[in-house]
Amino acid sequence: MYHRAMFRRVILLSLVPLIFLLLGSATVSLGDVGERVRAFTRPIEFDYVRWTFDAFEVKLEQAALGGANYLEDDQGSQLVREYNDLISRIEQMEAELSYLHANPESAEVANQIEETSAQLSQLYDERLEKRPFAESVLQSQLSVVLADMGLTFVGQPIPPVLYHSTPLPWALIVSPRDRIAQEANISLETDLILADHIALEERVSSTLDVSALVVPVGGIGSYPTMVAQSSNLNWIAEVISHEWIHNYLTLRPLGLLYERNQELRSMNETAANIAGKELGAALIMRFYPELVPAPPPAIEAQANEGEEEVNVEELRFDFRAEMHETRIQVDQFLAEGKVVEAAAYMEARRLLFWENGYPIRSLNQAYFAFYGSYADQARGPAGEDPVGEAVRRLRARSSSLAAFINEMAFLTSFEQLQHKLD
Domain that holds residue 225: 2-167+218-290
Question: Angle at Cα 108 formed by Cα 105 and Cα 112, nearest 5°?
Answer: 115
Count other Cβ atoms within 10 Å, centred on residue 302: 10
Question: Which pLDDT belongs to residue 65?
Answer: 64
Same domain, 316 and 382: yes
What's the chain's length in residues?
Answer: 422
Same domain, 323 and 246: no
Question: Which pLDDT belongs to residue 275?
Answer: 97
Q: Encode the chain (422 residues) as per-residue pLDDT tens digits.
A: 434 444 444 444 445 555 555 555 555 544 578 889 999 999 999 999 999 988 888 888 777 666 666 677 789 999 999 999 999 999 999 988 888 877 777 677 788 888 989 999 999 999 989 998 999 999 999 999 999 999 999 889 999 999 999 889 999 999 999 999 999 999 999 999 999 999 999 999 999 999 999 999 989 988 999 999 999 999 999 999 999 999 999 999 999 999 888 899 999 999 999 999 999 999 999 999 999 998 876 544 444 444 444 454 455 889 999 999 999 999 999 999 999 999 999 999 999 999 999 999 999 999 999 999 887 787 888 888 899 999 999 999 999 999 999 999 999 999 999 999 98
Same domain, 272 and 312: no
Same domain, 276 and 335: no
**Cα gap 248→147, rounded to integer Å:** 14
β-bridge mates for residue 310, sequence order: 301
Same domain, 71 and 113: yes
Which of the listed residues 262, 290, 318 is the one where a domain comes to its end? 290
Number of domains in the chain: 2
Q: Is residue 139 part of a domain?
A: yes
**Cα gap 323→379, rounded to integer Å:** 8
Distance set, CA 417 to CA 172, 251, 408 (Å): 29, 19, 8
**Cα gap 80→139, rounded to integer Å:** 11
Same domain, 283 and 397: no
Residue 28 has phi, psi (to 5 degrees) of: -100, 130
For residue 23, give every residue at least 6 positions away whose Cβ sits within 8 Å of its Cβ, in sequence order, or none. Answer: 48, 49, 52, 222, 223
Q: Is residue 34 part of a domain?
A: yes
Q: Is residue 181 part of a domain?
A: no
Q: Is residue 172 part of a domain?
A: no
Which of the listed residues 290, 313, 338 is the one where a domain comes to its end? 290
In this prediction the pTM is 0.84
Q: Is residue 186 part of a domain?
A: no
Same domain, 274 and 387: no
Question: Which pLDDT belongs to residue 295?
Answer: 81
Same domain, 240 and 92: yes
Cis ω before 224 (30° cut-off from 0): yes
Same domain, 269 and 349: no
Q: Is residue 382 part of a domain?
A: yes
Same domain, 123 and 80: yes
Q: Is residue 187 part of a domain?
A: no
**Cα gap 33→351, rounded to integer Å:** 30
Residue 172: HSE in the Cβ half-sphere, 13 Å Cα cutoff? 33
Same domain, 48 and 151: yes
Same domain, 350 and 270: no
Q: Is residue 150 part of a domain?
A: yes
**Cα gap 279→240, rounded to integer Å:** 9
Count other Cβ atoms within 10 Å, centred on residue 386: 15
